[in-house]
Amino acid sequence: MSSAFESHPATRWGALAPAVVVIGVFMLVPILIMAVISLLEANPYGGVYHHFSPAAYVQLLFEFDLDDSLVFNPGYLIILLRSLVLALLATLSCLALGFPVAFYVTRQPPRRRNLLVLLITIPFWTNLLVRAFAWIIILGRGGVLDTPLKALGIIDESLGLLYTDQAILIGLTYTYLPLMVLPIYASLEKLDFRLVEAASDLYADNLTAVRKVVIPLALPGIIAGCILVFVPALGDFISPTLLGGAKHLTLGSLVQFQFATARNWPFGSAVAMLLLVFVAIGAAAYVMLARPRDTAR
Amino acid sequence: MSAARRGRGAGRVGAGRVGAGRVGAGRVGEFRGLGAWAAGFYGFLYFPIVVLVVYSFNQSRLALMWQGFGLRWYVKVFHNEGIRGAAYNSLVVAASATAIATVVAVAAALALARGGEFRGRHAVLGLISLPLMVPEIVTAVATLMFFTSIGLALGLGNLIIAHTVFCIPFAFMPIRARLAGTDLSLEEAARDLYAGEWASFRYVTLPLMMPGIVAGATLSFVISLDDFIITLMVSNEGTTTLPVYIYSMIRQGVTPEVNAISSILFAISVTLVGVYWIASRAPVEAPSKEEKTP
């Protein structure tokens, strides 16, 4: 006796239709339209002219000189590289900070483990903006970090951390840390600890056991964590805008700027498409490297 | 083998006695300083939040100068017309988007969990998780261009549509996880006892999946309430939500009022996440206790 969802395709698709229609019409279609707009010519007064033009993508690397010849302009390439470097550094910081914690949590008794995992998720569900704002108070001139250091005579001047690339890095690391710890924890939780004990019996010291046993077995979680941190960090808008002070554009804030201020839809769309390319690369890497073996057929 | 046994045995004894047995490189899998590292990690995670909440009780006019404890800024928040309007918008959008997304997600989760293998299954799953994969800023500008292109201007309606889209996967995941964990035999038993498809759904499946529905609905409410980037792009002057209002306050300057409203928002999120946590951990068992006795 099977469910009507299995025996009647009409019932099944009827139940799936709302989700498919809502996400299809209001997400997939807008992204496809965005792909088209990135290939149209910008109307300098906002909006687009309806004819094909690769100008938006050309603008990523070149600009028109006074005599209308194309010259190489590294400006946007620098923004791309800065975003890539910041996202990479944030990913590495999250890994360095998070891996030992994921390992620590797995070694706790189950009840305590659940509490520790909950404590990791709570900041993640709180408002992104609120978390960035807290870092403004901490890093700002005369802020929570400056004041005691000054009082103790360790520094004379403000650290001047706010509105720098370091501040963006701190913000990104802080924001995406849970996305690193949780997948690593998920793969370490399944780890049979007797394997580590066996390594120890074979005279592996602790670090060797971690290097040769724990890390290889946790690799799917590590890869998943790295992708889950890197991709959104690359497109992050809040940390660069609030902590980087908008002088240091990244891909995310560049997209926002093109729509809110410059009103160049095709160029903004082209940059957004570039972000989507990185998402696709991340997703492909995940499928190839991190997907659990038993579901990969 | 025996050493491994001993190692495991030591692991079960309380942490207090472990130190005594430490030899050479330390107990298996024990690292000196690992606990301290973890403590530092949790400190890093909560330090900004503690700072935020503590400073929200600051009496000073300047956000960064401590001048004694008080509720002055909370009073100011409650009398701020702009914040009240934005909070109202946030609640309307979050409640509407959650209601629609949850119903949509329940139907989709049922069809996917009980529909067996069918053509297009993976495509549907991929489509539902699309909002989780696309960076928010990309969704935000794509939605903005789409609404502008088709001339859709429904005020809060635009926001409700945009929020419903990204709430669906958040509502869907806990419901699907819950359904995957429930026993099909209960539904089959109901059908054996001549319950129709609807009756077995109403009296068996629905109660079983209820914790998942509560968890999913809570999660999408939190996500909607906290959303900033998509809302910033899609909203206009009349449809400002709380996060967008806070953003404009931060841009005008750092005042303790931002701390107060941020702390309130934080408290709401934590409460809702608590509800989600409890609901998503409800044990999977038959709707009534009697059925459990053999």
Q: Mention every residue, 6+ apart, whose C-beta is less than 8 A from residue A104.
A: B34, B35, B37, B38
Helix (H, G, I), strand (E, B) or coil at A31: helix
What confidence category does residue B17 fall into, taking pLDDT thresholds of 50, 70 and 90?
Answer: very low
What Rg, from alpha-carbon coordinates, does chain A have? 24
For chain A, strand residue ranges (E) read 40-42, 48-52, 62-64, 70-72
Whether the pLDDT of residue A17 is over 90: the answer is: yes
The predicted structure's pLDDT at residue B227: 92
Average pLDDT over residues A167-196: 89
Name the more confident of A17 and B1.
Answer: A17
Chain B residues with beta carbon closer than 8 angstroms to that of A255 = 137-138, 141
Q: Mention every residue, 6+ apart, whose C-beta is less than 8 A from residue A76.
A: A59, A60, A61, A254, A271
A277 and A32 Cβ atoms separated by less than 8 Å: no
The predicted structure's pLDDT at residue B15: 40
**Secondary structure letter of residue A240 according to DSSP:** I
The predicted structure's pLDDT at residue A2: 59
Q: Mention every residue, 6+ apart, whose C-beta is less than 8 A from residue B208.
A: B178, B182, B186, B284, B287
What's the CA angle centered on B171, arms A183 and B126, to 5 degrees? Answer: 65
Helix (H, G, I), strand (E, B) or coil at A52: strand
Which of B42, B128, B250 lies closest to A133 in CB terms?
A: B250
Whether the pLDDT of residue B114 is over 90: the answer is: no
Whether the pLDDT of residue B264 is over 50: the answer is: yes
Q: How far apart are the first and last CA of chain B?
A: 40
Burial category of A140 from C-beta neighbours within 10 Å (exposed 0-12, middle 13-18, buried 19 and up)? buried
Task: Report B:93-132 residues touching A (Cβ under 8 A).
Answer: 100, 103-105, 107-108, 110-112, 114-116, 118, 124, 127-128, 130-131
Whether the pLDDT of residue A293 is over 90: the answer is: no
User: Mind listing the domains of chain A with CATH numbers?
Assistant: 4-72 (no CATH), 75-295 (1.10.3720.10)
Contact A283 B133 (CB under 8 A): yes
Other Cβ atoms within 10 Å of B290 Cβ, number: 7
Of the candidates A110, A169, A143, the residue with the CA atom closest to the CA atom of residue B259: A143
What CA–CA distance (Å, rounded) separates A297 from A277? Answer: 25
What's the CA angle centered on B46, arms B249 and A124, to 5 degrees? Answer: 70
- Under 8 Å CB pairs connecting chains A and B tally to 280
Mutate to test the interface with A, among B128, B137, B152, B209 (most CBs of A within 10 A): B137
Q: Give the whole-number percent of chain B exceeding pLDDT 70.
A: 85
Structure tokens at B204: 């068996």
Q: Mention every residue, 6+ apart, whose C-beta is less than 8 A from residue B48.
A: A131, A134, A135, A137, A138, A174
Name the residue in chain A with its Cα closest to that of B172. A19
**Secondary structure letter of residue A49 according to DSSP:** E
Other Cβ atoms within 10 Å of B286 Cβ, number: 15
What CA–CA distance (Å, rounded) separates B240 from B246? Answer: 10
The backbone torsions φ and ψ at residue A78, rounded to the nearest 5 degrees and listed phi first, read -65, -40
Burial category of A222 from C-beta neighbours within 10 Å (exposed 0-12, middle 13-18, buried 19 and up)? buried
pLDDT in tens, A203-232: 777 777 777 778 888 888 899 899 889 989
Helix (H, G, I), strand (E, B) or coil at A248: coil
Place of tokens 């999250």: A94
Helix (H, G, I), strand (E, B) or coil at A159: coil
Average pLDDT over residues B204-221: 89
The predicted structure's pLDDT at residue A56: 86
Question: What's the length of chain A?
Answer: 297
Q: Mention every residue, 6+ apart, whose C-beta is less than 8 A from residue B70.
A: B57, B58, B59
Contact A129 B246 (CB under 8 A): yes
Helix (H, G, I), strand (E, B) or coil at A261: coil
Q: Determine contact: B202 vs chain A, CB below 8 A.
A: no
User: Mind listing the domains of chain B with CATH numbers?
Assistant: 81-283 (1.10.3720.10)
Structure tokens at B230: 């998509």
The backbone torsions φ and ψ at residue A71, rounded to the nearest 5 degrees and listed phi first, read -125, 150
Q: What does the CA dihedral A53, A59, A62, A66 come to, rounded to 10 degrees?
A: 80
Whether the pLDDT of residue A296 is over 50: the answer is: no
Chain A residues with beta carbon closer than 8 angstroms to that of B8 = 193-194, 197
The predicted structure's pLDDT at residue B4: 42
Average pLDDT over residues A268-275: 94
What CA–CA distance (Å, rounded) separates B137 from A232? Answer: 10
Chain A residues with beta carbon closer than 8 angstroms to that of B158 = none
Helix (H) / strand (E) containing A92: helix A75-106
The predicted structure's pLDDT at residue B19: 39
Contact A119 B139 (CB under 8 A): no
Q: Mention every residue, 6+ apart, whose C-beta is less than 8 A from residue B119.
A: none
Q: Mention every residue, 6+ apart, whose C-beta is less than 8 A from residue A136.
A: A143, A162, A242, A243, B250, B254
Output the DSSP codes for chain B: -HHHHHHHHHHHS-HHHHGGG--TT-STT--TTHHHHHHHHHHHHHHHHHHHHHHHTB-SSSTTS---B--HHHHHHHH-HHHHHHHHHHHHHHHHHHHHHHHHHHHHHHHHHHS-S-TTHHHHHHHHHHHHHS-HHHHHHHHHHHHHHHT---THHHHHHHHHHHHHHHHHHHHHHHHHHS-HHHHHHHHHTT--HHHHIIIIIHHHHHHHHHHHHHHHHHHHHH--HHHHHH--GGG--HHHHHHHHHHH---HHHHHHHHHHHHHHHHHHHHHHHHHT-----SSGGGG--
Whether the pLDDT of residue B72 is over 50: the answer is: yes
* Mean model confidence pLDDT for chain B: 82
Q: ipTM of this model?
A: 0.87
Whether the pLDDT of residue B290 is over 70: the answer is: no
Q: Mention every residue, 6+ apart, whose C-beta is less than 8 A from residue A199.
A: A208, A209, A212, A213
> Strands A70-72 and A40-42, how do they pair?
unpaired
The predicted structure's pLDDT at residue A173: 95
Of the candidates A282, A175, A180, the residue with the CA atom closest to the CA atom of residue A231: A282
* A143-152, A177-186, B84-93: segment of lowest average pLDDT: A143-152
The predicted structure's pLDDT at residue B285: 57
Which residues partner with B88 through β-bridges?
Answer: none
Whether the pLDDT of residue B18 is over 50: the answer is: no
Q: How far is A293 from chain B (nearest CA, A)?
A: 17
pTM of the model: 0.85
Q: How far is B226 from chain A (nearest CA, A)?
A: 5
